[in-house]
Amino acid sequence: MPERVREELSGLANRFETFVFDLDGVVYRGNRALPHAVEVLNLLQESGRQVFYLTNNSGATRQQYAEKLRALGVDAQPEQFITSAWATALYLQRALNPGAKLFVVGEPGLKQELHAAGFETVEAVETEIPAAVVVGIDRAFSYERLAQAQYAILNGARFIATNADPTYPAEDRLLPGAGTMVAAIATATGHKPRVIGKPNPQILQPFIERGVIQPERTLLIGDRLDTDIALANLLHIPCALVLTGVATRDDVACAPLEQLPQWVLNNLSELLGDAVNNLLVHGV
């Protein structure tokens, strides 16, 4: 590992114009920035590269994520963040009537994105069946919420999941992700959700269609094979796995073809030069 990050772009980073970073396990774990993340992100931006952040974590708004990165020392604006909560709100604007009522199993950040998109949220599903049950990470998940979600879905509400990640990396351990709540509701209802977040390509397609993200000039960096890397491969975006989060080198060795990254990095400093030593034999 280099002592300090290089001061100008080199190596893998020099080959791309746009970078799409996952957050949990890539930029930080909990409230702790991962090694070299702050320096590398600032260097990319100072060098004129376009940087986006793409997270399945629906617990916060884009504004809150921008504030979190600024607190860690990264220059960040809300427009750089693509979150599963925001993408879910955009999807529901197309799928439901304006102002439709929703039952949310999730955190305030998700509710705020849904309210900003014009939806109402309800707390008691027995009095009025909502148009949809929207499920994201909910660290106050309870049997009561599960029972309400079950009742609404069995009485006709759509079942929408912001994401289905089984876990996410906290500072020194893995914790249960939204996928565990989604699985509980799926089991209780016998229904499968529509999942909006990674690896559903819909989360990035609007940016590709508008030419904001050009896949061949973009590098996606993530820590999960089944979401980050699977999405990149579906959209033909070159991708690197960084080993500071969920996936390990052993996971890469066992991964199906559609979840194989082109590069494996020990940490983000390797974007600036040492990554070629980690090239896998296949891909780009």
Report the catalytic residues.
22, 24
Q: Return d(Cα 105, Cα 20) in angstroms, integer.
A: 28
For residues 25 and 197, which CB has a smaller minimum distance to Mg ion in the complex? Answer: 25
* Least CB distance to Mg ion at residue 163 (A): 10
What token pair was written down for 224? 């999960």
For residue 167, count other CB atoms closer than 10 A to its CB: 18
Closer Cβ to Mg ion, 24 or 226, answer by number:
24
**3-state class (DSSP) for residue 181:** helix
Considering the complex, what minimum distance in angstroms separates the CB of residue 53 from Mg ion?
Answer: 11
The stretch among 20-28, 40-48, 79-87, 151-159 that binds Mg ion (CB under 5 A) is: 20-28
Strand extents, DSSP E, 87-188: 101-105, 120-121, 132-135, 158-161, 167-169, 174-176
Identify the DSSP state of 171. S
Q: Which stretch binds Mg ion (CB under 5 A): 12-20, 86-94, 207-215, 238-246?
A: 238-246
Determine if 223 is a binding residue for Mg ion (CB under 5 A): yes
H or E element that contains 55: strand 50-55
Backbone phi, psi, residue 21, to 5°: -105, 135
CB 242 within 8 A of CB 43: no
Q: Does 25 contact Mg ion by CB under 5 A? A: yes
CB of 235 to Mg ion, least distance (A): 17
- Residue from 24, 138, 226, 274 that binds Mg ion (CB under 5 A)? 24
Taking the complex as a whole, how short is the minimal distance between the CB of residue 169 and Mg ion, in angstroms?
7
Q: Which of 9, 18, 22, 36 binds Mg ion (CB under 5 A)?
A: 22
| Count of residues that interact with Mg ion, criterion CB under 5 A | 5
| Binding residues vs Mg ion (CB under 5 A) | 22, 24-25, 223, 245
